[in-house]
Amino acid sequence: MDRNSIIGLVLIAAIMIGYSIYTSPSKEELEAIKRKQDSIALVNQAAREAAEREIAESAKFLEKQSAGIDSIIANAGDSINADSLNAVLLQNQFGAFANAAKGELKYYTIENDRLIAKISNKGGRIVSVILKDYKTYSGQPVELFHEDSSSFSINFYAGNKAITTKDLFFEAINNDIKISGSDSAIFTMRLKAAEDKYLDFIYSIKGDDYMLGYSIEAKGLQDIIASNTTDFNLNWTLKAPRQEKGIENERNASTIYFKYAEDEVDYLSETKDEKKTFDARIKWVAFKQQFFSTIIIAEEAFDKYNADIETKTNENSIKYVKEFTTNLSIPYKHNGFEKFDMRFYFGPNHYQTLKSYGLDLHQIVPLGWGIFGWVNKFLVIPVFNWLNQFNLNFGIIILILTIIIKLILFPLTYKSYLSMAKMRLLKPDLDEINKKYEKEDPLKKQQAIMNLYKRAGVSPFGGCLPMLLQMPILIAMFRFFPASIELRGESFLWADDLSTYDSILDLPFTIPFYGDHVSLFTLLMTASTILYTRMNSQFSASPEMAQMKWMMYLMPIIFLGVFNNYSAGLSYYYFLANMITFGQQYMMKRFVDDKKLHAQIEENKKKPLIEKKSSFQKRLEEAAKRRGKM
C-alpha cells in the first residue's frame, strides 16, 4: 500500500467515527426514548390485566350457566333429559335448520356411461367422481376427488345463525340412479327447515355425457334467511389427487382457469401459488389438472361479491398435486321461490369434447398463444384426429403426422438447403475478402461482403428465414404432445405411455437437472440433433455461424435435461423430424449439382448490378462514405 492509500483509509475511518458520534442520540433523547418504552410497557400491562379480567368474568358466566342448567335438570327430574338439552343447543346453533343437524350418514350414486358420482346426505354434495374410461398410471380408476380431501358448501345466514350446508343432513328424494344411452334422470337432495320451507340441491344426468346439471332451489325461506342477505356463498375446496407418472409435469400443468361472464378466459400461475379476487361476474371456474378437469359453470353468471380463487402446493406431497379453492357468489332476492342453475363438468381435457359445449371450455387445453395455437388448432389437431380414425398405433400416427408436416415444409427446407449450398460455394471468395480487409476498417469489409452477395445473387439470410418459418410448428408440437390426452396410456416400443417420459433405466439416485431415470427417446433426439447441427455447420460458410457453433452444440445438451422428464411422444416426434431431415438433405445433395450452382453464381457476378435503393439505404451509404473520408 502506498501513502495515498493509507491516507484514504484513515480519512474514511475518521469520517465513519465522526458520523457515528454526530448521529448518536443525546442524553435528553435517551431519556425520552426510555419514557416512551416505559409508557408502552404500562399500556401492555394494562391490556393484559384487562384481558385476564375478561377471561375470568367469562369463566364465571359459563360456570353460572352450567349451574343453572344442572339446577333445571335436577328440579325437572325426568321431564328433561340430555336429548332435550342437545335439541336446545342445536336450536341455538342452527335455528330453523336444527332438525337437520343430526342424522345417519348415507351415500347415493348417480351413474351413466361416462362416470359414477357419489353423493352424501351430509351436505347433499358430490363427494367423489370416478371416470369409467380412464385409469391412473398405477392402473387404478381415475377418481377426480374424494370425500376426505374435498369440501363443498353453500353458506348463508338464517336470522343471526351462520348456516353451512356441509354440516347438515339432507333428505334424498330419489334412490340411486343408473342410466345409459339417451336416457336422463334427476336426483334431489332436500334440506328442510319445515315441510314447506326447504333448500333443494337438484342433480340432473344424461346417459352419455361428462356434464351434470346442478340447481339450487330455495322455497319458502324468505322469512328464515336474514333480511340483509343478498347472496349465498359457494365454497369449494379440493386436493387434486395424483393421476400421472410424472408428478412434476402434472403439477406444472395444474392450475385454476376461469372465464369472465362478459370477457375472455384467464388462469392462475401454473408454477407458483396464487390467489385472485374477482372484480367482475364469472361464468365458470375450472380446477384443471394435466389431463382431467372439474369445472363448475353458471347458466347465467356468479356475482363478483366476495368471489375469489386460490391455488396451494405442497411440494413434499406425492399423493396430491395441488389444492384448489374457490368462493363464488350466488344472488338471492328473498322471493318465495328462487332457483340458480349451474352445471358440473367432470371429465378429460379433450379439445373436441370441451369445444362441443360452446362455453370456451376448450381454452383450458394449453395449445399455445397466437400463431402457435393456430398451428395446433387448424393443422396438427385436424390431421391427428383424421389419422386416429384408422385405429393405428399412436407411434405410427406420430410417424405419419411427422412425414406429412415435413412434406408441407419441404419447399422451405429445399430453399434453406440451396442458400447454405451457395454460401458454401462462396467461401473461397469470403476468405479472400477477409484476408484483403484484415487490417482495414471493418465497415469496408462488411460492404465488400454485401457487394459479393448482391453480385452473386445470394442472400445471407436465405437459410435462416425458412428455418424461422418452421419454428411455429416446432413450438406448437412442444405444446401439443404434453397436452394431448389421446396419447395418455398409449404404448409404443419400449414406452408404456407416450404422454409421459419413457424409461429404460431407473437410477437409484437423482442427477440434478436430469432426473432419476434414463429416457431413450430423449437420448436419440439429442444424438440426432447434435448430428444435424454438425451437418449444418459443415454446410455453412458464415463467420458468424462459426462463432456460434459452441452454442449450437450446447442447446441439445440442455434439451437432454429438459426433455428427460417430458412427453415421450414429443421426443419421439423431434427424433423422427431430425431423421427425415437427414433423408431430405441426402436426397437434395444428390440432386443439386454444385458445379451448375457454382456456374450460375459466376454468371451472376458478370451481370451488371442493378438495384433499387431505398431512401434509408441511401442515407446509410452516405453516412458510411462520410465516415470513410474522416
Looking at the fold, whether 115 and 249 belong to one and the same domain comes out as: yes
End-to-end CA distance of the chain: 45
Chain-wide mean pLDDT for the chain?
81
Looking at the fold, whether 301 and 395 belong to one and the same domain comes out as: no
The answer to whether position 267 is within a domain reads yes
Looking at the fold, whether 186 and 246 belong to one and the same domain comes out as: yes
**Which residue, chain included where needed, has cell 456460434?**
548
- b or e along 337-354 (b: 16 or more beta carbons within 10 Å of the residue's beta carbon)? ebebebbbbbbbbbbebb
Query: What would the grid cell of residue 243 be?
Result: 393421476
Q: Using 50, 70 and 90 to split pLDDT, how confident is the model at 541?
A: very low
In this model, does residue 200 exceed pLDDT 70? yes
Looking at the fold, whether 398 and 474 belong to one and the same domain comes out as: yes
* DSSP conformation class of 8: H
Of 590, 580, 459, 563, the C-alpha closest to 502 is 563
The answer to whether position 494 is within a domain reads yes
The answer to whether position 430 is within a domain reads yes
Looking at the fold, whether 309 and 409 belong to one and the same domain comes out as: no
Q: Which domain holds residue 57?
A: 30-75
Looking at the fold, whether 216 and 355 belong to one and the same domain comes out as: yes
User: Can you give the CATH number for the domain in which 326 is found?
Assistant: 2.70.98.90
For 277-305, the pLDDT digits (tens) are: 998 999 999 999 999 999 999 999 999 88
For residues 603-630, give the mean pLDDT.
Answer: 62
158-to-78, 94, 232, 328, 489 alpha-carbon distances in Å: 33, 8, 11, 19, 50
Looking at the fold, whether 171 and 300 belong to one and the same domain comes out as: yes
Query: What would the grid cell of residue 491 be?
Result: 404404448
The answer to whether position 238 is within a domain reads yes
* DSSP conformation class of 314: -
Query: Pick the residue with more confidence: 488 or 619?
Result: 488
Query: Pick the residue with more confidence: 582 or 628?
Result: 582
Looking at the fold, whether 445 and 430 belong to one and the same domain comes out as: yes
Lowest-pLDDT choice from 326-335, 416-425, 507-516: 416-425
Of 360, 364, 151, the C-alpha closest to 253 is 364
Tell me whether residue 123 is exposed, middle or buried, using C-beta atoms within 10 angstroms of its C-beta: 0 to 12, 13 to 18, 19 or more: buried
The answer to whether position 241 is within a domain reads yes
Please tell me the distance from the alpha carbon of residue 512 to that of residue 516, in angstroms, as a whole number.
9
Q: Which of 328, 346, 366 is the last residue in one of the domains?
A: 366
Write the DSSP assignment of 448-508 as a string of letters.
Answer: HHHHHHHHHT--TTTTHHHHHHHHHHHHHHHHHHHH-GGGTT--BTTBS-TTS---SEEEE
Of 520, 540, 384, 409, the C-alpha closest to 469 is 409
| pLDDT at residue 154, rounded to an integer | 94
Looking at the fold, whether 390 and 283 belong to one and the same domain comes out as: no
Query: What would the grid cell of residue 454 be?
Result: 448482391
- The residues facing 158 across adjacent strands are 161, 225
How many structural domains is the chain composed of? 3
Looking at the fold, whether 361 and 408 belong to one and the same domain comes out as: no
Secondary structure of 262-298 in the HEC alphabet? CCCEEECCCCCCEEEECCCCEEEEEEECCCEEEEEEE
The answer to whether position 546 is within a domain reads no
230-244, 453-467, 486-500: range with highest mean pLDDT: 230-244
Q: Which of 339, 366, 393 is the last residue in one of the domains?
A: 366
Query: What would the grid cell of residue 161 be?
Result: 345463525
How long, in residues, is the chain? 630
What pTM, to 2 d.p., does this model score? Answer: 0.73
Looking at the fold, whether 392 and 442 belong to one and the same domain comes out as: yes
Q: How many CB atoms lie within 10 A of CB 466?
A: 19
The answer to whether position 446 is within a domain reads yes
Looking at the fold, whether 403 and 318 belong to one and the same domain comes out as: no
Percent of the chain's residues with pLDDT above 90: 34
The answer to whether position 35 is within a domain reads yes
